[in-house]
Amino acid sequence: MSAPILEVQNVTMRFGGIVANRNVSFSVEEGAITALIGPNGAGKTTMFNCITGFYRASEGRILLKGDGGDEDIGDLVTRPISGGSHLVTRAGIARTFQNIRLFKEMSVVENLLVAQHRATRNGILSGVLRTSAFRRAEREAIDRAYYWLAQMGLVEDANRLAGELPYGRQRRLEIARAMCTSPRLICLDEPAAGLNPSETRELAQVIQRLCSDHDQTVLVIEHDMGLVMRISDHIVVLDHGEVISDGTPEHVANDAAVVAAYLGVS
């Protein structure tokens, strides 16, 4: 087993009187696929929003582990003046959304260039002086964009408007866009939502290749249990905001607490 890249430590997230996550702890192993599952309203998206810096957890810590020390996600989000989720992206966590959020009026390749601009400290496209360093950065951004388009089977779509792509391709474009920022951890929020069975099979291969070919660490929320059981190395199950099971797909599938949660028995 490899080292954890992310540690969620005793995280509680409250919205007024609603407790969406209660004392949640789990870790994400480097180079593995970890799934976060649970019935509707279990607190999965809220947990993702804490990990990716959209929310600061009410209590507890989320640590992105690194050779040069750990980054505390909560501190990045609330750092005075410049703090926010963009610092979490720069620290190495990228995400996709339950509802696809592409720039639909931009071309496919432009979506990937904008993502890199946002993930880079000075911005690749914002250089006013066309210095050789700027031109080199621009060239690298374009090369990286086409590399990930090729990995996702989208090269022929490069100059189409993102909004014109079939839904399954838009989902893959979202993953390409996140991968363009060279993340240490990619968080996929219900990537199979709205996909037909053959698109879901293609997606499973795409996610597995991220790990096998690129040593990518993946954290995924997904309701499609067939997909989760097929691709995950490790599964964390939430119910009513709390972790009720954590382990291999086999362990979780045979855990009576998980079966009860999905059948609505308490």
Where does this chain bind ligand ATP (CB under 6 A)? 15, 18, 20, 38, 40-46
Task: Write down the least CB distance from residue 187 to ligand ATP, Å.
Answer: 13
Nearer to ligand ATP, 41 or 168 (CB): 41
Q: Using alpha carbons only, give the angle 71, 69, 50 rounded to the nearest 5 degrees.
A: 15
Residue 57's nearest CA partner among 10, 4, 7, 6 is 10
CB of 198 to ligand ATP, least distance (A): 24
Please tell me the distance from the alpha carbon of residue 72 to that of residue 62, in angstroms, as a whole number: 6
Q: Is 227 left (phi over 0), alpha (psi -120 to 50) or beta?
A: alpha
- At closest approach, how far in Å is the CB of 11 from ligand ATP? 12
Q: How many residues does the chain have?
A: 266
Show Cβ contacts of residue 219 under 8 Å, excluding neighbours closer than 6 positions: 6, 28, 34, 35, 36, 48, 51, 185, 186, 187, 188
- Closest distance between ligand ATP and the C-beta of residue 79, in Å? 22
Q: Which CB sits closer to ligand ATP, 51 or 93?
A: 51
| Minimum CB–partner distance for residue 166 and ligand ATP (Å) | 24
Judged by beta carbon, residue 46 or residue 89, the one nearer ligand ATP is 46
Measured from the CB atom, is 24 or 207 closer to ligand ATP? 24
Which CB atom, from 202 or from 224, has the smaller least distance to ligand ATP? 224
